[in-house]
Structure 1
Amino acid sequence: MREETRFVNEEGRLVAVSISGSFLRGVTGFQSKGPQLPQRISVPARPAAAVIEEPTSQEQALIYRLSGDYNSLHADPEIAQTVGFERPILHGLCTFGHSARAVLRSGLVPGGNPAMLRSLTARFSKPAFPGETLVTSLWKEDGSQEIVFQTRVKERGVTVLEGGLAIIGKNSPVVQEALQSKL
């Protein structure tokens, strides 16, 4: 399933577009149905230009419920076990947010300015658990507006976000205004 949400400001000007997709674990046979998936992004064979390591807390999923996602999979051990997880998993939005922050803290975005972040995409490949350390590795070609990234869990050595791509560009006046109004 693909869902697109458009965000506009008070003047009706488009500020952002959020595109998301859903999947059901263990359900197969739908590869030829619907729109063609984009080509997967691979990380370069060379060492990363930056690596950002950041721990999550044991309470991270419970705190992250403040985003409005009350899915019991993130809080109830019994529910998590019924769908094959050893314990509650971290919200995907939290893992994605940690990766976005790593992009901004990497030194690859001028001044770490969030208004320079034009697009951020990634594929969730495995779950992260609260209390694990997220390690985001980032690659950027000189002069390129694209930053390729992946996020792994240090303790288990598994990739939780793959095919990450951040597009940076000219500072957006609409985003800059929104950021300044929140300060």
Structure 2
Amino acid sequence: MHTLVTIHNAIFGLVEKAGSWLLPLAARFVFAATLLLYYWNSGLTKLGDGLFGLFSPSIGAYSQIFPKQLEAVGYDVSEFGVFHQLVVLAGTYAEFILPLLILLGLFTRLASLGMIGFIVVQSLTDVIGHGATDAKTLGALFDRFPDSLIMDQRLFWVFVLAVLVVKGAGALSLDKILKRRLETVPM
């Protein structure tokens, strides 16, 4: 029995060491493979026409972020103020910048925290703004159904991002390169 425990500890000791650099890399890979293009495509739907569309969000952006308010003003975006435009622009830019930072492994912990906040706001907007309150979409924890959009799916998204907040970007990242450079720079 002692031999089995020793073998077990030796094998899983190596797994734990490898996990310190492999787990964050795997979390970034999973994020990139499942959510990177999801958020970039969502961001593209919010851009206005042409080059200056970066500064002039589409009506789709307002309908995604402020659905009830847009309906209340008869879908006339000109009725919105600077605050609404800034919120829409910030949300749009976040959908491009935060996933890119995670992909590159640059400021990964902050970008992951930002994405967690983004997912919380996205979920609240879906529930409050779009009325996604049906049991199938909203779901519930511990309900034996793993397929709800908000409670189940987004919990997994947040978990992957939480791994990055706790562990950082891992060995293959710009964060690691910056850390090495800062350690070699004399003070």
Instruction: Please state which band the TM-score falls in when normalised by the shorter chain.
Output: under 0.3
TM-score calculated relative to the size of structure 2: 0.23
- Name the structure where strand makes up a greater proportion of residues: 1
Q: Which has the larger radius of gyration?
A: 2
TM-score calculated relative to the size of structure 1: 0.23
- Name the structure where helix makes up a greater proportion of residues: 2
